[in-house]
Amino acid sequence: MVAAAAAVAAAQALWGARRLRLFLSTVKPGIHVPQAEPVAAFSSSVTSAKVAVNGVHLHYLRTGGGEHAVLLLPGMLGSGETDFGPQIENLNKKLFTVVAWDPRGYGHSRPPDRDFPVEFFERDAKDAVDLMKMLKFKKVSLLGWSDGGITALIAAARYPSYINKMVIWGANAYVTDQDEEIYRGIRDVSKWSERTRKPLEALYGFDYLARTCEKWVDGINQFKHLPDGCI
């Protein structure tokens, strides 16, 4: 029992540190990391809107007026405002038009509640591309981390003529036995550190966050049972 508890604690610490480390890697030393706040907390130059795409209403933040369109793709349970505050504020608005989206069931792209069929990454990739086409962008570059990085990879593979450039970090191409153990260790969000949980709990409320995290763990572990654990 003690060994099992230690393993779970280590898994939670590893995942929490990974998420925070990757998030903080986008921020220069000394810059405050914003917590989840109402969209109005951003400057007036940021537009918040929803648009109907593939049968759902997808929420996005938009800023800048540059010719180079960039889509920001958040990680597991994330949203544009929780995962990309520094980029929304600081990317060059003369060079770029920046769009930070909330995948269906995440952030403000609710309803519907988030679910995880085996093709959920492919569904997100299609939603992301179709959103940008709906917004009249002829081509787009992708910045994605964690699950957003996986979505970006799939989007680039399936829609190569539409993707200009791509930066991804913290993504994985398959699920291993070690990954499965880590995912099980984060299933119970009540055991997360407050620092890791707080921004997402402020966005979702505890019940939705807890329920969706459990579904995400089941969803990502589906790939463990495919050949080579391939996502």
Residue 6: its pLDDT value, please?
A: 39
Q: How do residues 91-104 score in pLDDT, each as one tens digit? A: 999 999 999 999 99
- What 3-state DSSP class applies to 190? helix
DSSP per residue, 17-77: HHHHHHHHTTS-TT---PPP--GGGS-TT-EEEEEEETTEEEEEEEE---SEEEEEE--TT
At what angle are helices 194-204 and 2-24 packed, to 10 degrees?
Answer: 70
How is residue 43 written in tokens?
């400057």
Q: How do residues 1-22 score in pLDDT, each as one tens digit? A: 333 333 434 443 344 434 433 4
Spatial contact of 42 and 100, defined as CB atoms under 8 Å apart:
no
Instruction: Quote the DSSP letter at residue 101.
Output: E
Residue 221: its pLDDT value, please?
A: 97
193-204 burial code (b ≥16 CB/10 A, e <16)? eeebbebbbebb
Q: What is the CA radius of gyration of the chain?
A: 17
Residue 1: its pLDDT value, please?
A: 38
Spans in the chain with pLDDT lower than 50:
1-43
Residue 29: its pLDDT value, please?
A: 31
Which one of 3.30.1540.20, 3.40.50.1820, 3.40.630.30, 2.40.50.140 gives the CATH number of domain 2-229? 3.40.50.1820
At what angle are helices 206-221 and 177-185 packed, to 10 degrees?
Answer: 170
What is the phi-psi region of residue 146: left when phi exceeds 0, alpha when psi lies from -120 to 50, beta otherwise? left
Residue 7: its pLDDT value, please?
A: 40
Instruction: Quote the DSSP letter at residue 91.
Output: S
Residue 44: its pLDDT value, please?
A: 53
* CA–CA separation, 11 and 180 (whole Å): 10
* CA–CA separation, 104 and 110 (whole Å): 7
Residue 57: phi and psi, rounded to 5, are -105, 110
List of residues 6+ apart from 105 with CB closer than 8 A:
112, 113, 114, 115, 212
How is residue 182 written in tokens?
């880590």
Q: How do residues 125-154 score in pLDDT, each as one tens digit? A: 999 999 999 999 999 999 999 999 999 999
